[in-house]
Amino acid sequence: MNHIIRNAGLLLTVLSFGGILSSGSGVGDGRHPVGSEDVYKLVWSDEFDRDGLPDTSIWHHERGFVRNHEQQWYQPENAWCEKGMLVIEARKENRPNPNFEEGSRDWKKSRRTIDYTSSCLITRQTASWQYGRFEMRGRIDVSKGLWPAWWTLGVTHRWPANGEIDIMEFYRGRLLANIACLNDDRRTAKWFGKSYRTDSMGGKAWADKFHVWRMDWTDTEIALYVDDQLLNRTPMDSLYNRDGSGFNPFRQPHFMLLNLAIGGDNGGDPSGTAFPNRFEVDYVRVYQRTEKR
């Protein structure tokens, strides 16, 4: 596995898998429960305690129109660090699409203009992990047309055979916790997903606050949480590609992505939403189990 190791000497003792991890912002500061079986070590983190551009030794940027017929043009200028936070800002703009081609059937080239911009940060080729506890403390806006996400993809095979984990995803009034592998048509994704209406969670008042999203990923299951509430638990032996290969894309390292998308196949209509709009991230952390007590 290709790790960027930070704070490698810090051990975090937490409740065993499925238990509670404090959602406080500190790590190893007495806020986390002690005395359980599993001992985790912080192997990587970005606390975004800098001003200016995100750390380029960690984060790369996707550029242009990328996936899902989304309306935003991805560019580095829409992501920066300030006051200990990563800010990903979606903006409403109007400028020519530099890749436009008259009559093209490629949706990335058939659009004459760029109407929105945003950013997608990605750790592909800089950091990847297999198994562990992943945490992100962030704040999302739940306005129409917005599609913020914190997710992972496997390092080998093409999508969806590489495997996708949506630890945090929101669109069209729903918070999602999804896992995908290759379906038996050898083309589409087979989803193991759960969704929850954000209005039942508190709506805008809930979204105005920071929350902690978490994945506990072991060799037996993947469990996804928000604020210690279980959203999705899927056994590992269900997560194999249905192409006859028997390949399980979750028994390989994954890299992570942070993005704020707009519209597209799932995001909905952003025309009534105020811009600029932000997805804010306090920290991203990865822990891995080191021993059993």
In a domain, 42, yes or no: no
Considering Cα of 10, then 217, then 81, then 32, what sign does the dihedral take?
Answer: negative
CA 43 to chain centre: 18
Tell whether omega for the bond before 160 is within 30 degrees of 0, i.e. cis.
Answer: yes
What gap in Å lies between CA 16 and CA 13, rounded to an integer?
9
Question: How is residue 33 written in tokens?
Answer: 């429960």
Query: How many domains does the chain divide into?
Result: 1
Partners of 190 in the β-ladder: 181
- pTM of the full structure: 0.87
In a domain, 40, yes or no: no
Cα–Cα distances (Å) from 37 to 11, 21, 28, 34, in that order, read 13, 13, 16, 9
Give helix then strand counts, H and E, for the chain: 4, 18
For residues 286 and 45, the answer to whether their CB atoms sit within 8 Å is yes
Q: What is the mean pLDDT of each run of 10 residues along the chain (293 residues)?
A: 34 32 32 52 97 96 98 98 98 98 98 98 96 98 98 98 98 98 97 96 95 98 98 98 97 98 97 97 95 58
HSE, side-chain direction, 13 A CA sphere, residue 33: 14
For residues 80 and 87, the answer to whether their CB atoms sit within 8 Å is yes
At residue 17, the pLDDT reads 29
In a domain, 36, yes or no: no
In a domain, 249, yes or no: yes
Give me the residue label for tokens 């403390």: 137
What gap in Å lies between CA 118 and CA 95, rounded to an integer?
14
Instruction: Give buried/exposed letters for 99-112 (b at 16+ CB in 10 A, else e).
Output: eeeeeeeeebeebe
At residue 35, the pLDDT reads 39
What gap in Å lies between CA 257 and CA 34, rounded to an integer?
31
At residue 291, the pLDDT reads 65
In a domain, 176, yes or no: yes
In a domain, 103, yes or no: yes
What is residue 39's three-state secondary structure? Answer: strand
pLDDT, tens digit, 9 for 90 and up, residues 204-259: 999 999 999 999 999 999 999 999 999 999 999 999 999 999 999 999 999 999 99
In a domain, 41, yes or no: no
In a domain, 104, yes or no: yes
**Could you list the active site residues?**
164, 169
At residue 248, the pLDDT reads 98
The CATH number of whichever domain residue 163 belongs to comes to 2.60.120.200
Domain that holds residue 68: 48-286
